[in-house]
Chain A
Amino acid sequence: MIRVTDLRKRFGDSEILKGISFEVPPQTVLGVIGASGSGKSTLLRCLNGLETINGGTIECDNVRLEAGLSPPDYRRRVKDLRLKVGTVFQHFYLFPHLSVVGNIIEAPVHVLRTPKQRAETEAYELLESVGLRQAARRYPGSLSGGEQQRVAIARALAMHPALLLLDEPTSALDPRRIQSLRTLLRTFVDRGHTMIIISHSMGFLGGVSDNILYMEGGVAVEHGPAEELLNSPKDDRTKDFLKQAE
């Protein structure tokens, strides 16, 4: 569903991503782990077009973003890519002036030109599936962190993305809610969604991911099935990281 080849990103003189390659098969979850500064957040921002890439390609569902395109072409591809990739930010960034339903139908109505009636019907279905139907007419300011996150997930899914990115989804949740988030995300995977999740929580990632990618210093050090990578890592750097993480 998404294929990243030799992805490079520079900020000034320092190269943050030094040629990352991986693939996420459809209906699977890739967990990305790594210390702060390993480049995993930059990777996420490259995948949704918020950072301009300096080398390599990102292919997602017929959209191919590559470095070195002319600026207008690049912008057009980024726009196409963003329609394929949904993002749930660490701090959600819900639109505070819009109600919960307003947040969810905003992009479908104004970007995809979905009729408002239909967008609302879909929004209520999404809210149902994240368990927030009763909060539809409330405003983000009156929601708890966990509720805001679930609205953010619904908002991203309303655009029918081929890939959903989640940045540190557990940072604002208590253990009980982490458990229910895991269940919720797996439900969406079973329904056909594909995800990349960045997290510091090995426990959470171990339970939700099919594959894990370990990053260090802008390099993809190890990439493999979750069980295998977490329990018997091959690379010494992965071993050190996992040891410290315990």
Chain B
Amino acid sequence: MWLTPGPDLKAQEALRWGADPSGGAPYVFNDPANPDRYIGYEKEMVDALAQAMGRRAEFVPSDWETLVPALQRRSFDVIVNGLEPTGDRAQVILFSKPYYIFQLQLTVRRDDNRINSLDDCKNRVVGTLGNTAASRLLQQQGIPLSTYADPVGAYRDLELKRIDAVVMDVPAEAFYARSNPKLRQAGPPFTRGQYVIGLRKGDTELKAQIDAAIDKIIIDGTLETILKKWGLWNEAQAEFQGPIRAGTQPTKVEEYTNPTTTFNWGEALWRLTRAAAVTVLLALGSMVIAVVFGLPLAVGQWKGPAWVRAFCTVYVEFFRGTPVLVQLLFLYFGLPVIGIAMPGWLTALVGLGLNYAAYESQVYRASLEAIPTGQWEAAYSLGMGPVLAFRRIILPQAFRIALPPMTNDFVSLFKDTSVAFAISVWELATAYRELANASGQFLLLGVAVSAFYLAMSLPMAHLARLLERRLRDRATERVTEEATA
């Protein structure tokens, strides 16, 4: 803590504020006309606040999920990112007074007449941002949800029918969904909540300055101008700002509901266990695909005609030469452009499977090539055809050679399932990120998640070693067996 200068020293300098600009319209985002520049209503609001405080605003681009830990690490002084004052956040950070009243909006596909309110969503998957008022509301009502890192992904998956509805804060909904002809609003906005500015515990002096600045830009109409410019001024804002401007503070904060969840370790472990099951299924499924596709690839590259060899080589080099994360993103976001939209879990299964097929094929090829030509000739001279010789004589021997590297690959595939978090698959790494972000328990949950991974990968490695040894020692085992018999 004493390594970086405290906020007091910074006071004369810039007011550093953190927010997630990725998919962050209309809060703060990259100006499409000039991507080096950040724009947004909150950007303009912080500029106004800083001016009111006699300071200069400095934007620190960050990641929504890790805003709170980043604030605590002093990456910036305040969070201004449509932050809701939830109970669990209140335990770790300080809140300013509210500056905006948000509502939630349910959006569905235009041609989908089944859903007209949240009550129609009981058995459908609803997309929203992780760790928001919307996600907590859905959890509370027991509606299955799929969480996203930004609104763009959620609305795109809605269009692609990967999910059936999206619940989003009105500002984001207004910017990303309202003008989309394929989507429609399902019912009026509902729920009211506040956006506040987040500060580190103990920064009470800064809080006082910020509260005063918020009052100032509300009273002098600056905030109203900004919100109107961005199309965000509505009845709720008028109701909220009215009393402040009339000087009858404090506002009736308790009117606005803010669903909060307290962190529950039992619940967390249960969710981790489910995520672990997803991880195991993902790893097993991908490995099956890798093994099934790897063998024809290996044989094709080894004995196939020239064009088959060329195809297999291109396949292998492509999948080995590009990161698996990029491949998954391509499959998930790129393929829908040509009409192939797979759900996240299937994308992860296929993506990891195809990727590891490239690695497995090389293991198989090396193993097959390691079998002496004499084994083929002996099989042929006994009247076997190529297929029978391959299946009965070559493959079983090659399998023994391939087993140790296959085990290695499986353990590494098992860990690689964590990249599936990039496409919203709820596996262990995603679970860790979300639970830790929601609770701030990065250390304890990290230990728990590592324990989960080890609890699965260690027995697997052990089992594989046992199998290997049994295959290798079979000949000698038989000898001792007979010697003792």
Contacts and interface: CB of A to CB of B under 8 A. Distances in A.
Interface string B456-485: 000000000000000000111011001000
A244 interface: no
Given A110-B392, A111-B384, A89 B474 contact: no
A103 to B, nearest CB: 9
A49 B475 CA distance: 32
B400 A97 contact: yes
Contacts of A142: 475-476, 478-479
A155 interface: yes
Nearest to B372: A93
Nearest to B378: A93
B382 A111 contact: yes
B381 A86 contact: yes
A107 interface: yes
Contacts of B379: 95
A50 B381 contact: yes
Nearest to B485: A137
B380 A138 contact: no
B383 A79 contact: yes
A46 B380 CA distance: 13
Contacts of A93: 372, 374-375, 377-378
A95 B372 CA distance: 11
Contact of B382 (A50, A82, A141): A82
Interface in B161-205: none
B388 to A, nearest CB: 6
A87 B388 contact: no
Contacts, number: 76
A82 B381 contact: yes
Given A89-B374, A137-B478, A138-B479, A106 B392 contact: yes
A111 B482 CA distance: 30
Interface of chain B: mostly helix, strand, loop or mixed:
helix
A83 interface: yes
Interface in A81-128: 82-83, 85-87, 89, 91, 93-97, 99, 106-107, 110-112
B397 interface: yes
A42 to B, nearest CB: 14
A140 B388 CA distance: 21
Contacts of A96: 397, 475
A228 B379 CA distance: 38
Nearest to A84: B383
Nearest to B477: A139
A106 B372 contact: no
B475 A159 contact: no
Contact of B378 (A89, A110, A137): A89
A139 to B, nearest CB: 3
B471 to A, nearest CB: 8
B393 interface: yes
A212 B296 CA distance: 48
Instruction: List the 8 closest A-B pairs by CB distance, nearest first.
Output: A139-B475, A93-B378, A107-B382, A93-B374, A141-B475, A87-B381, A111-B383, A142-B479
10 contacts: A79-B385, A82-B380, A82-B382, A97-B400, A106-B382, A107-B383, A138-B479, A139-B479, A141-B476, A155-B382
Interface of A: 48-50, 79, 82-83, 85-87, 89, 91, 93-97, 99, 106-107, 110-112, 137-142, 155-156, 159
